[in-house]
Amino acid sequence: MAQPILQVENLSHQYHDGFSLQIEHFVLYPGRAYALTGPNGSGKTTLLHILGLLTAPQKCSLTFEEKQISMANAKEAWHYRRQVTLVMQRAYLLRTSVFNNVAYGLQIRGLKASLTQTRVLEMLKKVGLTGYETRSVHRLSGGETQRVALARALVLEPKILLLDEPTANIDVEHVARIESIIEEAREARQMTLVVSTHQMDQAYRMADEVLSLRDGHMLKAGPTNLFHGRIEDSPEGTRVHLDSHVMLYTTASHRGSAYIQISPDDILVSKDPLASSARNSLKGSIAEASVEENRIRLDLDTGIRLTIYITRQSFAGLNLTVGNEIYATFKASAVRVV
């Protein structure tokens, strides 16, 4: 694989309200698309703002194209921002026309007026806003505003494009269009894309790699044990019927279609059924066992593919091997809606 375009090490940032973002290691490769997923308040926007150098974290080592970036160095930060562009969730448009908004970034880069005009008009055409050039931004709908903001970022052809919930304020019928505009631009320019979203289906549509944030921590290897299903009430309790016909109990308040996730650390492994208060117990065979850091990762085939982490001692103590049939037990509260 190519050299990383961006490398983040030992990121630590804490807000006054106690929320903290802690990421040990995070790497982006050129031309790849990453989706940042996680519930509201998991740190997606904070991470994007740190990557866009809008928020200075208390601690972070940032390497862009093999060069260490010091956030305190105004010149370095400026040079970086010229190549890494962020589109905020609630994008702000300058109080002028649509054309001037899209042209602004090119103008401050000293591009010739004729070339600026050509590129702006081309970009407005791509985002479906031809004819809007002279329109004041005050007369745009939420969706149009977001498309102008996207055009304003894409026209700069950044090496990394950071998008914070790019379709959050867009009508459903325009979502596919926005996604295809982003995809086309990325392919044409080999742009690295980081898009935050809380919609798992969108994350998988747009990204090569899905990263998951939870409570300010990035879950290793993205969202493991992520499944889609329907949550319904039953006399026995709230249940989620997964698409793979497996049924699990949950304490989630959401009803209807949802993505659910079970943290690998919340699952207990045993050779026999456990007599416990945990409401979910699945029997399956070990499909794969591998060492990850100091732990053993088990992939269990139970009708759904469950990833479980156990210690080396537990693995040895239970005398487990690939093909063994074991029980995976977890509480209803471990089945969380993403």
Partner 1 sequence: MNYLTNGFQEAFRLLITGEAGVYNIVGVSLLVALMATILATGIGLPLGYLMATKRFFGRRLMITILNTMLALPTVVVGLSVYAMLSRRGPFGFLDLLYTPGAMITGETLLAIPIVAAFTLSAFRSIDPRVTDTALTLGTTPFQTVRLLISEARFGILAAVVASFGRVVAEVGAAMMLGGNIKGSTRTMTTAIALETNKGEFGLAIALGIILLCAAFGANILFHWLQGLSD
User: Interface with partner 1 by CB under 8 A: which residues?
Assistant: 49, 52-54, 74, 78, 81-82, 85-88, 90-92, 94-95, 104-105, 108-109, 152-153, 156
CB proximity list for 130: less than 8 A, separation 6 or greater: 121, 124
Which of residues 96 and 257 has its CB atom nearest to partner 1 in the complex? Answer: 96
Query: Which residues neighbour 232 within 8 Å (Cβ) at sequence distance 6 or greater?
Result: 238, 239, 240, 241, 255
The minimum distance between CB 154 and partner 1, in angstroms, equals 12
Quote the least distance from Cβ 131 to partner 1, whole Å.
Answer: 24
- Of the pair 153, 286, the CB lying nearest partner 1 is at 153
Q: Considering the complex, what minimum distance in angstroms separates the CB of residue 198 from partner 1?
A: 21
**Pick 147 or 297: Cβ nearer partner 1:** 147
Which residue, 94 or 322, is less far from partner 1 as judged by CB?
Answer: 94
* Contact (Cβ atoms closer than 8 angstroms) between residue 4 and residue 166: no
Q: What is the DSSP string of 202-253?
A: HHHHH-SEEEEEETTEEETTS--SEEEEEEEEETTEEEEEETTS-EEE----
CB-nearer residue toward partner 1: 1 or 74: 74
Pick between residue 104 and residue 132 the one whose CB is nearest to partner 1.
104
Least distance from partner 1 to the Cβ atom of residue 161, Å: 10
DSSP state of 278: -
Laid out side by side, the sheet with 6-14 consists of 67-69, 59-64, 6-14, 20-28, 217-219, 209-214, 33-37, 192-196, 160-164, 84-87
Per DSSP, helices labelled H in the chain are 44-51, 74-81, 98-108, 113-126, 142-154, 172-189, 200-206, 312-317
Both tokens of 219, joined, read 């879950």
As a whole number of angstroms, the distance between CA 60 and CA 71 comes to 9
When the beta carbons of 104 and 259 are compared against partner 1, the nearer one is: 104
Give residue 190's identity as a one-letter amino acid code: Q
Closest CA to 199 of 233, 232, 231, 176: 176
Q: Shortest gap between Cβ of 184 and partner 1 (angstroms)?
A: 21
Q: Least Å distance between CB 139 and partner 1?
A: 14
Q: What backbone torsions phi and psi does residue 98 show, to the nearest 5 degrees?
A: -60, -45
CB of 95 to partner 1, least distance (A): 6
Between 162 and 286, CB nearer to partner 1: 162
Judged by beta carbon, residue 2 or residue 74, the one nearer partner 1 is 74
In the complex, the smallest distance separating the C-beta of residue 73 from partner 1, rounded to whole angstroms, is: 13
Phi, psi dihedrals of residue 279, rounded to the nearest 5°: -90, -15
Distance CA(329)–CA(285), nearest Å, equals 14
Per DSSP, what are the bridge partners of residue 196? 36, 164
- Give the nearest distance from C-beta 256 to partner 1 in angstroms: 34
